[in-house]
Amino acid sequence: MNRTRLLFVAIISVAVLLVIGTLVWGALTRDPANNGLTVPRPERLQIRVITALPVEPWARAAADEFNAGEHAVDGVPIDVEIIAMDGLTALGKWDRNDFAALPAEVRPDDLTAEEQAVLDHFPTAWIPDSRYLVELANASYKERLGRDVFLSDGQYRARPVAVSLFAWGFYNSRGKALQENLGEISWSTMHDAAIAPAGWPELGGEAAWGFFKLAIPDPRKNVGGLATMIAAAGEYYNRTNISVEDVTEPEFQTWLAELMSAATDLSGGSAYTAEDFALFGYTAGDGGQFLESDLLQNLQGILTRWEESPIIHYPKFITWFDFPFTVWVGPETSALQKNAALAFQRFLLSEAQQRKALSFGLRPANPNVPVDASDDSLFVRWQEQGVQDVVPRTTAMRSPNRNVLLALLRWYELNVAP
């Protein structure tokens, strides 16, 4: 072996020894508190799932069962914490970065122990009302961080875990009177009822009923409120895609103001309109548009308290909520937490949990589970009230963009909100 080759081998050997020495020294001297979110290995792994109000009762019951079952990822037991939060509220928190996502240039390894502790409360996953809320939140973070935080493909992609849609719900006496005198239940019918100067006597009802009262969710507290206004705009324009120009068109605003003038203060002040409809009866409204799952869960309360059979109709322009289970993919949560979230997602999509969703009035996202798959299914229980296994109409409203939502919300605050 010549001198050049010997020198080369010696240099390589020294370099290898230096690398090994550096790794050993780092392992011996590393401070575990500053080693990001990968170590130390926890005894139990907690994940926090922000959950939309309509699916929160089902998701919470599933989480309790999941936690009791000692599910684990890589041998570490998982605890799921459900945090109930309306989709609009959650979107606002994401937009303001209230959950304290790290700046683009900061990594978990750079944090102090105190800063690491703040991340202990960072959400692992989000189940909003609709996929478009995920897309809006992701667009905001992508602009801020230069990368996606919620994915549309791959194993961590947003996946619906249940489905519901908006439907008309009316006390039977009121609904029949409207149908007999104004025709099919629709937003146009609601508008005509809202502007009837003589009230219910003009609409075929009793004078004691007063004026027509419309029940819809408060758009400031429940994303369903904006969804109903967008559906009303869809019927007004006879199309599924609504723009800011449509929302700000003067004639439409006049029509919408007349329609919304019939909204009761009670229904306009709560995030739980279907529950108010059951609790407070006719003072909460004669009828309105509700998320089907909320309405089905409260039908028994309506029958018990008011002794009047409610009726359900499905609109021409349907608004769907698909409740996508969405995993945060940023460095704020560990790989173990992300995989634990996927384990809970699979649990929610299991046939057993999808059947249990039927007792909460939610339509299964798992195609193997029909709406009559359980004896406790509210779709079976309330068929006589007009609930349909398969909704025959296929005209679905398209998801609004952020500007449309903000324009409608601002209009509501200026023209309707007390």
* Tokens 């649990």 found at: 347
Q: Do domains 45-161+323-349 and 164-320+385-415 have the same CATH topology?
A: yes
For residue 13, the model assigns a pLDDT of: 54
CB atoms within 10 A of CB 52: 28
The string of pLDDT tens digits covering residues 204-241 is: 999 999 999 999 888 888 888 899 999 999 999 999 99
Contact 360, 58 (CB under 8 A): yes
Nearest to 292, CA basis, from 317, 318, 324, 255:
318
Residue 238 CA: distances (Å) to CA of 120, 132, 185, 246, 297: 48, 22, 16, 12, 31
* Domain segments of the chain as ranges: 45-161+323-349, 164-320+385-415
Please name which of 183, 165, 180, 189 lies closest in space to residue 259, comparing C-alpha atoms. 189
d(CA 324, CA 322): 6
Query: Could you tell me if 326 and 128 are in contact, meaning their C-beta atoms sit under 8 angstroms apart?
Result: yes
pLDDT the model gives residue 337? 95
Note whether 190 and 214 are within 8 A (CB): yes
Coil/strand/helix, residue 386: coil
Cis before 40? omega within 30: yes
Q: What are phi and psi of 159, to 5 degrees?
A: -130, 125
* Class of CATH domain 164-320+385-415: alpha beta
End-to-end CA gap in the chain = 92
CA neighbours closer than 13 Å in the CB half-sphere of residue 38: 5
Spans of the chain, pLDDT less than 50: 8-9, 14-39, 266-268
CB within 8 Å of 259: residues ≥ 6 apart: 187, 190, 191, 194, 214, 232
**Contact call for residues 346 and 181 (beta carbons, < 8 A):** no
For the domain covering 45-161+323-349, report its CATH number: 3.40.190.10
Q: Which of 60, 65, 67, 61 is nearest to 44 (CA)?
A: 67
- Residue 262: the pLDDT is 92
Residue count (the chain):
418
Q: Which two tokens stand for residue 393?
A: 């109409």
What SS3 state is found at 164? strand
Cα–Cα dist 55/49, whole Å: 12
Show the tokens assigned to 320. 């769907």
